Amino acid sequence: MASHDHAHDDHAHGHDDHHHGPEKGIMRWIKTTNHKDLGTLYLIFSFTMFFIGGLMSLVIRAELWHPGLQFVDPEFFNQMTTLHALVMIFGGVMPGFTGLANWMVPMMVGASDMALPRVNNWGFWILPFAFTLLLSTLFMPGGGPAGGWTMYPPLVLQTGEGFPFLIFAIHLMGISSITGAINVVVTVLNLRAPGMTLLKMPLFCWTWLITAYLLIATMPVLAGAVTMLLTDKYFATSFFTASGGGDPVMFQHIFWFFGHPEVYILILPAFGVVSTIIPTFARKTLFGYDSMVYATASIAFLSFIVWAHHMFTVGMPLAGELFFMFSTMLIAVPTGVKVFNWIATMWRGSMTFETPMLFAIAFVFLFSIGGFSGLMLAIAPVDFQYHDTYFVVAHFHYVLVPGAVFSIIAAVYYWIPKWTGVMYNEFWGKVHFWLSAIFINVTFFPQHFSGLAGMQRRVPDYAVQFVDFNMISTIGAFVFFIAQFIFIFNMIACMARKGQKASDRVWEGAHGLEWTVPSPAPYHTFEDPPRIGDAELAAVHDSGAGYSDHKH
């Protein structure tokens, strides 16, 4: 009665393996290709790295409590600053955003999963290996890398036996970022539900698409740069070795050609998150959606032509100093457009201040402070004074912590009711917010002053006049760190399903596919009278007509 001529087609979704039960226990997590599982894994990994990187920062802050050497030797101190940055950037922020992308991008565009689920699995599981390698360098002869996350030669070439492990770990992180980026690209480009044109996409998808573009464009540069370090050290090449005719300053150019787009890789998805949250709690649509997209694209473009603002002091020709000074200042324009749009969105909205909104508003305020200090740093002549001081440290921590990290926290608060079906505890959310917002400023605001007064970064000792500022910073850092446990426990409670049940549309002002359990006609199923032969199938696949009215 039933005929089943079986011809297996590897790129089709197989239909005959429904007997395999789901994997159990740990194997389920190792083998999973489900975007939600992987999103969860990415986020858990990210917060683990935030914890480890946070502990390192506490070592740094404890040492800086007083001038002179208190707890660790200078060599170990420098290993801490270097690894802190690498862990936070490549282990905390980037996987955090990839986790959010995994969870939300398919839901936002109306796809059933990411486009390349298996690649997605590999991309994640590379990360634990990469960071085990990286952290294991601490226990090797010569210790971990201590030349700063920027890995400038010739200093970094003095790293002990951990050096090749550092390079290999960077390669692995790069591969993981690339797989993540490629997956986002093909998902966003190819798996949008009919009717969802590019300019109807949620901004989070847009900012991630552009981030992925930046990643794809710049990762080979990083991979090439660190490979050349390796060959310089072990294979007698002299790409960056002056004695062999190489140029160490060229490493800086190459590194920052990757590095500056990288800092936008760390912040563009945050812009997307904030552009999602603010309209929800202002109960208005986002002001200037199109201009947001164009601003993001111009920031991405400009980020390729500003790299040397990190190297104003290496001795560039005047024309170079001027070019990079003005191109850097130009970035303030699209950034300003964004800040303006967020404020205009809130203007006369009926606002409420739940935890995600509080973090989003703090983002707008505090990220802007980081932008302003960035503008100061962009002024080449004054950067000669600021460069390599705590002023730079204050700048990038304002853009990275109340910027990137707050946006990840905001996003988790915002979506966790959707992910777990359980509402987090709002009271503790607010406590967490206020402690975080206050103590992040206690930590980093004084660093502006100590930096302007000349306190150098990456040095465990300092002149006595900076004691007060440093003590304040250290207190801030410890309280901020401890306050994050409130968040962790609040989220664990949701994951353990302890708490109030969340409704389908958790936030009354929220829009987007992810909040509706849509019951429109099956989007890309197509029903019509019989008598269509296989040859005609091509004609029916675009049955998109009329879908768009189900949304928006």
Partner 1 sequence: MSDPLDLAIGASLETRFVLSPNASLSVRGAWAFMILVSLATLGTASWCAAHGFWPVLPFAGLELAAVGWALAVSLRRNRYREVVSFERERVRIEFGVVGQGAAARVELPRGWTRTWIERDAERRHAPTRLLLGCSGQQVQIGRCLTDEEREVLVRRFGQLLKVRFGRDDDRAAHSEMTLGEG
d(CA 91, CA 50): 8
In the chain, the amino acid numbered 294 is: Y
**Burial of 442 (C-beta count, 10 Å sphere; 0-12/13-18/19+):** middle
Q: Does 321 bind ligand HEM (CB under 6 A)?
A: no
* Tokens linked to 93: 């922020």
Shortest Cβ 492–Cu ion spacing (Å): 36
Q: Does 171 bind Cu ion (CB under 5 A)?
A: no
The residue (of 265 and 286) whose beta carbon lies closer to ligand HEM is 265
Q: Does 254 bind partner 1 (CB under 8 A)?
A: yes
Shortest Cβ 392–ligand HEM spacing (Å): 4
Q: What is the DSSP letter of 19?
A: T
Residue 338 interface partner, choices Cu ion, ligand HEM, partner 1, none, CB cut-off 5-8 Å depending on type: none
In the chain, the amino acid numbered 235 is: F
Phi, psi of 389 (to 5 degrees): -110, 180
Q: Does 541 bind partner 1 (CB under 8 A)?
A: yes
Count, residues near partner 1 per rule CB under 8 A:
85
Selected from 225, 400, 412, 494, the binder of ligand HEM by CB under 6 A is 400
Q: What is the DSSP letter of 423?
A: -
Within 10 Å of residue 519's Cβ, how many Cβ atoms? 7
Selected from 309, 418, 432, 448, the binder of ligand HEM by CB under 6 A is 309
Shortest Cβ 452–ligand HEM spacing (Å): 12
The residue (of 253 and 430) whose beta carbon lies closer to partner 1 is 253
Q: Do residues 172 and 262 touch, judged by C-beta distance below 8 A? A: no
d(CA 500, CA 491): 13
By CB under 6 A, what part of segment 280-299 binds ligand HEM? none
Shortest Cβ 516–Cu ion spacing (Å): 40
Within 10 Å of residue 468's Cβ, how many Cβ atoms? 12
How far is C-alpha 23 from the chain's CA centre? Answer: 30
Interaction mask 62-91, partner 1, x per CB under 8 A: ------------------------------
Selected from 32, 275, 328, 443, the binder of ligand HEM by CB under 6 A is 328
By CB under 8 A, what part of segment 498-527 binds partner 1? 517-527
Residue 46 interface partner, choices Cu ion, ligand HEM, partner 1, none, CB cut-off 5-8 Å depending on type: none
Within 10 Å of residue 271's Cβ, how many Cβ atoms? 30
Nearest to 377 by CA among 415, 435, 300, 324: 324
Q: Does 540 bind partner 1 (CB under 8 A)?
A: yes
* Tokens linked to 106: 């398919």
- Interface residues with ligand HEM (CB under 6 A)? 150, 263, 266-267, 309-310, 328, 331-332, 335, 371, 374-375, 377-378, 383, 386-387, 392, 395-396, 399-400, 403-404
